[in-house]
Structure 1
Amino acid sequence: MKFVSFLLLLLPLFLAAQVFDDFSDGDFTQNPPWQGNTEHFVVNDDFMLQLDSEGENTSVLTTAFVATAPMEWRFRIKLAFSPSTNNYARFYLAGDAVDPLAAQQAWFVQFGESGSGDAIELFHQEGSTLTSICRGTEASIANAFDLWLRVRVDEAGTWSIERSDTPQNLWLPEAQGVGTSPQGSYSLGVLCKYTASNSKRFYFDDMYAGPFDVDTEPPKVLQVLATSSNTLDVFFDEAVDKPDAETLANYNVSPQIGYPLTARRDAENPGLVHLTFDRDFPNAAQLTITIQNIADLAGNVMQPDTISFSIFTPAAHDVVINEIMADPSPPVGLPDWEYLEIYNTTNFDIDLSGWKLLIGSTEKLFTDIKIDPHGFLILAHKDAANEFKYAGPFYGFTSFALTNSGQQLVLVNPEGAVISAVTYSIDWYNDPNKDDGGWSLEQIDPANACGGKNNWTASVSEHGGTPGAVNSVDTENPDVTPPFAQRVEIVDTAALILHFSEPMDSLQLAVTDLYEVQPGSLRPVEALSVFPHYQKVILQFATPFSATTIYALSLMGNISDCAGNPVDQTRTVQFGLPAEVAPQDVVINEVLFNPKDDFVTGVDFVEIYNRSNKIIDLSKMMLATEDKKTGSISNPKNISESSFLFFPQQYLVLTTKPEVVAQQYFTSAPENFLQLPSLPSYSNDAGVVVLTTLYFETIDRFAYREKMHYPLLTTYDGVSLERIHYDRPAADSTNWHSAAEDVGFATPGLQNSQFSPLLVTEDPITLSPEIFSPDNDGFDDVLNIHYNYQEPGRNASITIYDARGRKIRRLIDHELLGTSGQFSWDGLDDERQKAPIGIYIIYVEVFDLNGNVDHYKKTAVLATRL
């Protein structure tokens, strides 16, 4: 091998009693000068001596010095591989030749051997004989390692090896033995034996050889770290005296914490002390600890030192999901990548390592990433990193996909606790011009993390979003609305799920004493809040509920939403065990098939009514239409995916956008709205609305036509058809009328404006009201013709004549009657024109099964408002 030869006669020119080199000058040619295979070594960018060779070889580098016991050697060594007989290092403490391989007498520490028990071992070489002076812990360097070593020898030949795994030189005993010691002129240095794959993976630094380094400096506190709510780790810059370190009076935490309960010096790191207190540290508070009277191993005693510390455990909403770009195409001004933005709402760095992002059912794990105080972090596919580098801190996942229409997003800490949860929907944009791509959803107020839809909207940035920056819609939008218990979902005969109007405090939800059910003053035996929004709680009761009882659930104690607003305790929620639905138990009561502004802002709705005395579970029903060609049920939609109780005499509006319907029409019953992901398609001119069971058994059916509307309206847009009475057949066209103008042309969730009760009289034929005004004002808009018979089996025809005997309208023609019922005249003639005001004769012919005919003449007045 190539070797720079120096005659031993010349060595005295370079001899030194002390050698130190940390390679901070960037080379090894001077101060001190190193010799050997100099072309095989470099000083790298970290100012460490590094092997930089090629192929399989053995390389050495040495420098001259004078050895005089007692003395010590210190150095750092890093091997970025698992050492072996073909790949090992030696640090020559002293050798009698410039080339260590030519030495007849030498002392060296070896790192690497055969097998898996690699240990640090000190050898003395005499000729070709190697004698082990001492050996460290078995297998302590079996894998790649980076450590600092101190080797000492005294006048009596007692050797010791100490190691430190940190640059603070917190020395731990490794091995001790007795042997001869070097005295006089020698070389010290390094030897690297390696194969080609490891020819650049040896590192050395911080080399010292000379007299014992006498410690005259007292220990210093490097760091105080809160490791839990009542424990601290104190890190010193050197090993400290064990009795001093474990004296409780040497530590005092202010304010109001005091002395520790226990103090224990770490068994492996003598510069680390573990403290335990009997009181918890307040979260996010600034505390101080005073430390005093602690000596190092040389007896140097520290002066009192006061160090500030705090503990911060991120809680719910300390990091929030703040912006969602689910559909970036076509781009407005941002990269064509889906992304999320999260925001740190606190004054503390937050380490996200071990946290998870749940996108639907997919888990994404964070590793080695922090988010700055009040900082943003962009989350996207890792391949998008370069395109978002301008925007701020970025974290990439190997896969990343968001659903355009909406999805559940949850951020959880390593313990699985929910930090932030959002279930977004495309209707959160509140702008049909921005929900088809290129625009992000932005949170309005990050401090209102549970605001849901009311706290999100489309970005107004000219770029389409604001990743890594304050949202373009940012403003205060606090939640000041009290939450309320919304409805109950039946799980089984002894368990139910209580739904709230907004996310709640999850810990409070789990308190069973907060809930009471009447009759019976029943309390649940278990309450489980439902992940991740905690807007629901599962209540388990000890005994089953009665099938014939309607119960009322009340909230009895302190419970609030996640913003701290107390619940509205004045509301009770009804529930009961549902019964099987039968035909006509639930009927179609109002239909808006031609909404306002067509497809821009308006939406269809179907109102249903429970005319039975049963509690019906709407998860067992579907809303559908009919195929025009075959008449079969088509395009069915589940009314509810989970149990939804529909009570006797209750109205319920089915629509995709309840908030739009509530804005466009007068309603005092928003609780009577149920949002469906989609409705069957109902055309503006004609169609069929069908209620069915899950087995496609028809419950009610209504075939509508636009011509069923009051013909004198200037437009039918936004006008619903109302059922005059829910006990009359849906197929009776006279049982439907346009909603009144004075109620805004629809009554979603409320009794219909055109509702008219059925009259029960002794007379076979009666009229009500006898004076009516068909002006669509919701007051006496139709004339109701009631019939009442003891036995079935009759049919009837009804004809309307004016006072001069001229036929105006053939209302019905030989229609089969029940025992009681009614028909309605809307004041229109056969040409669908409004009849003039005046007196009209209602001529009714009723035929029985024996051919008998009863004739009835009744008069009514068609009037108008003056």
Structure 2
Amino acid sequence: MTFRVLLLKVICYSFCFAVQAQIISDDFSDGDFTTNPAWTGEVSEFIVNEVNQLQLDFQPEDLKPAYISTNFTAVTLDDKEWRFDLKLDFAPSNSNKVVIYLASSTADLLDNEISGSTQEGYYLEIGENGSDDAVSLYYRNGSTTDLIARGQNGQFADSFELSIRVRRDADGNWEIAVGNPGLENYVVTATGNDVNYNSAENMGFVCYFSTTRRDLFFFDNVYFGDYIIDTAPPEILTTHITGENSIAVTFSEAIDESTGAGLENYHLTPGSVNPSNVTINQDTAFLTFATHFENGTDYTLFVENIADLSGNLMEPASVDFFYFELEEADERDIIISEFFPDPTPVFGLPEAEFVELYNRSEKFISLENWTITDNTSSESSLPPYVLYPGEFVILAPSSAKTDYEVFGPTISPSSWQALNNSEDSISIKSADGELVDALAYNLSWYQDEEKQEGGYSLELINLELDCFDSRNWKASENNTGGTPGTVNSINDPSFTGSVPQIINHTTPERDKIEIAFDKPIDLNSLENAIYTIEPQIAVAEINTNSDEDNSVELILAEDLSNGISYTVTINSVTDCNGNSSNDLSFTFVFDDIPPGVSGLIFLSDSIILVQFDESLAAETAEEASNYSISPETTISDVRLFSGNEVVLILNEPLDRQTDYTLTISGIKDFFDNTVLSQETEFSFEAPAQPAFNQLLITEIMAKPLADQNLPNSQYLEIYNPTDELISLVGLRYMDARDTVDIGLNYILPKEYLIVCPNSNVAQMRDYGRAIGIRPWPNLNNTGDDLQIINAGNELVHKVFYRDTWYKEDFKNEEGGWSLEMIDTLNPCEGFSNWRASVAELKGSPGAVNSVTEDNQDLLGPQVIKAFAPSENEVIVYFDESINITHVIVNQFAIEPAIEIASTTVVKDNEVRLNLAEKLSVKILYTLKANALTDCVGNTVRSDHNSATFAVVEEPVQNDVILDEVLYDPRSGGVDFIELYNRSDKYINLRNWQVLGPSQERTIFPDDNVVMAPGDILALTSDFDILVNQYPNSTTPENIAVTNLPSFPNGQGIVHIISANGELEEYFEYDDDMHVPFLRSVDGVSLERISPDAAIDVTNSWASAAATSGYASPGTVNSQLTNENISFGKVEANPKTFAHNAPGRNYTIINYTIEDAGNIATVKIFDAKGTLVKTLANNETLNNTGFFRWDGDDGQGRKVRTGYYMIYFQLFSGNGNTQLIKEKVAVGANF
């Protein structure tokens, strides 16, 4: 029996000493050994380390002994004491040892050894060959040494860290004691007498070492002086259990035996008892009690009246401890109460697996050397740990141990066996290999399809349930994903599990029926249950087996008849948790005829599916030796595909020209009927490989619900519209993220095949033939891109569904409804050929869709765009899927004539034309498509079979300019910017950057948008809003939708950068750039008045005219000046304009001067000579430029109609002045 103690109180202690007179006292806490006191010798080979110890740190390559010493005024040795802490990080030997000079006549402690001088004194030596290393005291006189005392043999045989105290009295009596650093627990190890020398001037240390020991000597707390008198009373340091009725109490120092052995000085509660015996050994008292300690009990030991060897009496003290006895675990004393096989995604727990154990017994159980394993053969052992009754412990990988310790006590096995996400087993065994608990889980245990995707642990509902029940497990309901180390979130002690169900039945003999249940059943219940068989046959005997408590054997009074359907009904069956079932029944047909081959299906040239006329026993059906093919063909593997289908996998392909014979023997059905020998002749016929649209995805269940009529499972339905059986071998199913093999299977002509997660196949088979895929690519609720790809990497069918396809919002939002294809003769159509199911079950898996109706595609495809990504290729884009199996060169033509070398299908609506000659730049080509069809056979429309394209060129600065900006739209409106291609190039806007003050956007990241020379293109985020707000001034075909940054009202920037970085347009806009007499700038764009006008000049921009609706997106600007900005000397253009008139409602004042650097003042006067507005005041001019006047005064108000004079006064650098006048007229718009 093993005993353990848990200390519940930690006792702090300290020592008090009366020091009479000290000569040396150094704890090196000042980090320095050169002063106070000063140490001399080979000081370069010693350091004070980071924990303030004196440490040897010998660096020279030539090894030699190193010493350090300190000198003091000569004193007598009578009644003196030496103390020091000594640590050697190695086992001492004769060549690696330490010598401590307590007193030396010379400061050079190696004086005699090196020079042979007469050195006199006393020294300690530790280190010798063998394992008897002890501390020895010597007297030295020159080369003569005398041993005075030697301590306990072997006391210093290993590396150590100890404190040594040496004392000598006036009579020459020496005492050597050893203790622990920091404690006053010295134990005398040697005594002796010598009076040859009675003077001390030097003390120090000598280190002898080899290369690997050159830094492993440590010294600390060095003292030499008068005796240190102990004035501190003893204190309790530790308490530990030594037996079922004994305890050891260790004090801080050796105690007086007369007080320490007093029984009355110890008092134990509960029980209020004194020990029956106390034995003292130095600092430890061993207490024995007359009665045994109680298992699982907290005790308090009171101690008083204990004195140390100096007579110091301790204060009364107490120590608490917990006593328990370890016991062996029986089966399910400790159970697996929670585990975490799939820690991704993370909701709050560490991203690492764990297994939680719970001790549901009243025992204290040690887990040391227990093992944990999954379904592999590897076992991992557990470290020492005692699991208390009613407590949990977390098992986690060592890499996650610290993370899980936040949740509770955590230990790590020697290695971690990773748990499979979908299914696995876990076994816990005791140190002697006995099974304590085990389970085998699968995804159904979560009882929640969303949580089974990961991030949630599996928790036990009722930890005290005696018998296994898979329904006693469920996904955690804690929002962090689990409850490691504590009570489970779903804990329910009243839960008794589910009622028993029949999972299997066999008739091994004509008069015997064996029935298996899904859980252990009470044997008395099995023996007393009511069994009824129709047509009526009496049950003569009921047999049960305690080793197989989930099954029963019925011996019948008469034999079963071949080919007859029987129904067995069972009442009053109770599981071992008390759950009772009534009216359990199953029906079977008795059979004593051996199975026969009903057909062969070739899934590939090396895979044969053998179909039998009844279900087979798996152990015989999968035995390869039961099959042979001649001429000799090696069968490498045999798999039971379904109950009555077996897959044979061959080592070599079959030959179409050869006649074969398949021989089968030894195969049994479920009634133990054996095929003795059966031959089937065959010749190989290659299976059909599906081409485009020869398999169709016709139904999608993306959002199943737990309470729906159909099984709570995602699924697809695949339809074979052909008249041929199609092998699925080599086919791949993919969504937007994952690609998986469909596996070994087939689909019959006109068959609707259900495809679902592997774990849900059994449920879905109630609705049609179902096959499983593992892992299952999750169908996204909002939409996904689904494709079937054949073995030749060719597209068979695709469906890129979206949640808008339901067409009924409540079905989309509610979930539990499938999406169904309306017309399988229009398989490429998306939105218009799909809708939510209208079936009563909310789906129609494995059958004709509930929404089926005529919805044929009667229109041919259109060419919507052509683009030349290089000089050697053109990509043609269609508005729908085309027949990708028949795309040839002759179906395309290019004008001006360019020869097409070949075609490549990029996507089902994109074709690349590979050209035999290069395209030329700056030429607009026209592409025409003819005789192409869509995927249902409609020919490309003659009125939409062409598109123009050109080779794009890289832009440079000013090729494309910013032409118009609306940054402050009307309420409910939308921003736009407008670009103008003023070059002779075709320029692609793909991946250009548009920046606002705080955002950056890439425009057309996935599309090629080409601007032809002279094109105007407005960019906005909403086409409909923009066109509706400016219906009379918008050219819709010149508007493109893309992602733009936010342009704030008031002021901001528009920064445009081409993809190659060679073109930049940077425009700082401000409300002040609008004409001042506008009541509001909401919905008014700023237009560039000329492509030649500088972007960063305020006068280059004007408010869009009212007649254009205050903006002209995609159209020539309303304020565009048609004239080139002329640079005569000074000229106003036009000389007459009117407020709010169509077209120009301002004038441009152009100037040109001979030299730059002149200064100008420009003012406007009315006919009376009154100053109306100053356009410039002493501004420095370039050679050419312009000013703009909007017909307003200095306060921004409209001026009256009439004539006005422009005064343009120039000041040159040499002092000349010139005044130029220009008259303009401001009219009215009627």
Normalised by the length of structure 1, the TM-score is 0.52
* Partner of residue 240, structure 1: 255
> What are the residue-to-residue correspondences of 1:778-857 with 2, within 5 Å?
none
Q: State the one-letter code of the partner of 2:88.
A: L
Report the equivalent of 2:29: 24
User: Take 1:41 and 1:582, find their aligned partners in 2: how far apart are those partners?
Assistant: 99
**Cα offset for 1:277?**
2.0
1:205 to 198, 214, 220: 220
Instruction: Confirm whether residue 84 of structure 1 aligns to residue 93 of structure 2.
Output: yes
1:556-613: CA deviation from partner (whole Å, max 9, x where unpaired): xxxxxxxxxxxxxxxx99999999x999899985699xxxxxxxxxxxx9948999xx
Q: Does the 8 Å contact 2:261/2:278 carry over to 1?
A: yes
SS in 2 for 1:18: strand
Counterpart Cα distance in 2 of 1:116 and 1:627: 85
Inter-partner Cα distance in structure 1 for 2:500 and 2:244:
35
Could you say if the C-alpha distance between residues 37 and 364 of structure 1 is closer, same or farther in structure 2, counting changes exceeding 3 Å? farther
Identity of aligned residues (%): 29
Report the Cα offset of residue 21 of structure 1.
2.4
Mark the CA change 1:303 to 1:336 in structure 2 (over 3 Å): closer, same or farther: closer
Which is bigger in relative contact order (C-alpha 8 A, separation at least 6)?
1
Once the two structures are superposed, residues 210-260 of structure 1 have per-residue CA deviations (whole angstroms, 9 ceiling, x without a partner) of 222222333222233344543222121111123433332322212215122
State the 1:448 CA deviation: 8.1
**Structure 2 residue 315 is matched with structure 1 residue 300:** no
1:351 and 1:50 map into 2 onto residues whose CA distance is 46
| Inter-CA distance 197–573: structure 2 relative to 1 (3 Å threshold) | closer
SS of the residue corresponding to residue 311 of structure 1 reads strand
Give the superposition deviation at 1:81. Answer: 0.9
- Map Cα deviations across residues 2-39 of structure 1 (whole Å, 9 max, x no partner): xxxxxxxxxxxxxx843222333333333433223333
User: Post-superposition shift, 1:470?
Assistant: 5.9
**Which residue of the partner structure matches residue 58 of structure 1?**
65
Q: Which amino acid aligns with 1:61?
A: I
Contact 1:117 1:138 in 2 (8 A): yes
Task: Give per-residue Cα distances to partners, 1:84-132, cap 9 Å, x unaligned.
Answer: 2221112221112222112601211111123333222112211112221
For 1:372 and 1:550, the matched residues in 2 are separated by 44
CA contact under 8 A between 2:616 and 2:643: conserved in structure 1?
Answer: no
Q: 2:607 maps to which residue?
A: none
Counterpart in the other structure of 2:109: 100
Which residue matches 2:428?
410
Instruction: After TM superposition, list the pairs within 5 Å mapping 1:348-427 onto structure 2.
Output: 354=368, 356-360=370-374, 362-367=378-383, 379-383=395-399, 396=412, 399-404=415-420, 405-410=423-428, 421=437, 423-426=439-442, 427=444
Cross-structure match for 2:163: 148
Q: CA deviation at 1:365?
A: 4.1
Match of 1:35? 40
Q: In the superposition, relative to structure 1, how do residues 128 and 358 fare at CA in structure 2: closer, same or farther (>3 Å)?
A: same
The AA in structure 2 aligned to 1:30 is T
Aligned to 2:237: 222
Residues 62-98 of structure 1: per-residue CA shift (max 9 Å, x gap): 2234453122212221111111222111222111222
> Does residue 293 of structure 2 align to residue 281 of structure 1?
yes
Question: TM-score, structure 2 length as denominator?
Answer: 0.38
Distance in 2 separating the partners of 1:171 and 1:99: 30
* 2:83–2:164 Cα contact (<8 Å) kept: yes
Q: Distance in 1 between matches of 2:215 and 2:221?
A: 19
1:440 maps onto 2:469 in alignment: no
Please name the residue that 1:112 is paired with: 127
Worse-matched range after superposition: 291-300 or 380-389: 380-389
Q: Larger radius of gyration, structure 1 or 2?
A: 2
SS in 2 for 1:256: coil
- TM-superposition CA deviations, 1:819-864 (whole Å, max 9, x none): xxxxxxxxxxxxxxxxxxxxxxxxxxxxxxxxxxxxxxxxxxxxxx
Partner amino acid, structure 1, of 2:426: Q
Deviation at 1:429, TM superposition (A): 2.0
1:691 equivalent in alignment to 2:709: no
Aligned to 1:474: 489
SS state at 1:149 partner: strand
Instruction: Work out whether 1:429 is the aligned partner of 2:446.
Output: yes
Q: Distance in 2 between matches of 1:411 and 1:23?
A: 54
State the shift of 1:345 in Å: 10
1:309 matched to 2:309: no
In structure 2, relative to structure 1, the CA distance for the partners of 1:408 and 1:387 (3 Å cut) is closer
Structure 2 contact 54–220 (Cα < 8 Å) conserved: yes
Question: Separation in 1 of the partners of 2:302 and 2:30?
Answer: 40
**Is contact 1:20–1:207 with CA below 8 Å preserved after alignment?**
yes
Conserved in 1, the CA contact under 8 Å of 2:478 and 2:489?
Answer: no
Q: Judge conservation of contact 2:235–2:252 (CA < 8 Å) in 1.
A: yes
Task: Tell me: CA distance 1:576–1:351, structure 2 relative to 1, closer, same or farther (3 Å).
Answer: closer
SS of the residue corresponding to residue 47 of structure 1 reads coil
Instruction: From the superposition, tell whether residues 284 and 683 of structure 1 become closer, same or farther in structure 2 (CA, over 3 Å).
Output: same
Partner AA of 1:429 in structure 2: Y
Distance in 2, matches of 1:587 and 1:278, equals 78
Indicate whether 1:456 and 2:435 are aligned: no
What CA distance in whole angstroms lies between the structure 2 residues aligned with 1:695 and 1:276?
Answer: 75
Q: Which amino acid aligns with 2:52?
A: F
Deviations 1:629-657 (A, max 9, x none): 45678764589xxxxxxxxxxxxxxxxxx
Amino acid at match of 1:402: A
SS of equivalent to 2:110: helix
**1:356 is matched by which residue type in structure 2?**
W
SS of the counterpart of 1:100?
coil
- 1 CA distance for matches of 2:596 and 2:450? 30
- CA change 1:421–1:575 in 2 (3 A) is closer
Work out whether residues 459 and 473 of structure 2, in 8 Å CA contact, stay in contact via their aligned partners in 1.
Answer: yes
1:60 alignment partner AA = Y
- Classify 1:406/1:177 alpha carbon distance in 2 versus 1 (closer, same or farther; 3 Å): same
Give me the whole-angstrom Cα distance separating, in 2, the residues matched to 1:585 and 1:44: 94
Which amino acid in the other structure matches residue 406 of structure 1? D
Distance in 1 (alpha carbons) for counterparts of 2:521 and 2:238 = 40
CA RMSD of aligned residues (A): 5.7
Whether the aligned pair in 2 keeps the contact of 1:84 and 1:115 (CA below 8 Å) is yes
Structure 1 CA distance for aligned equivalents of residues 178 and 411 of structure 2: 38
Corresponding residue for residue 138 of structure 1 = 153
Structure 2 residue runs of 5 or longer lacking an equivalent are 1-20, 113-118, 502-516, 528-539, 570-583, 601-609, 621-638, 646-666, 678-708, 712-1230
Any conservation in 1 of the 2:88–2:160 contact (CA below 8 Å)?
A: yes
Q: Give per-residue Cα distances to partners, 1:35-65, cap 9 Å, x unaligned.
A: 2333333333333322223353422222234
* Native 8 Å contact 2:241 2:248 kept in 1: yes
SS in 1 for 2:240: strand
CA 1:337–1:112: 2 relative to 1, 3 Å:
same
Q: 1:174 aligns with which of 160, 168, 189?
A: 189
Distance across 2 between alignment mates of 1:274 and 1:415: 34
Gapped runs of 5+ residues in structure 1? 1-15, 487-498, 505-514, 519-547, 555-571, 593-604, 612-622, 640-677, 699-715, 719-866
Do 2:138 and 2:146's aligned partners in 1 also have CA atoms closer than 8 Å? yes
Compute the displacement of 1:384 (Å).
5.2
| Distance in 1 (alpha carbons) for counterparts of 2:299 and 2:427 | 36
The match for 2:83 is: 74
Offset of 1:625 from its aligned partner? 11
| Aligned amino acid, residue 102 of structure 2 | L
Q: Do the aligned residues in 2 keep the contact of 1:160 with 1:177 (CA within 8 Å)? A: yes
Preserved CA contact (<8 Å) 2:126 2:134: yes
CA contact (8 A) 2:367 2:387 kept: no
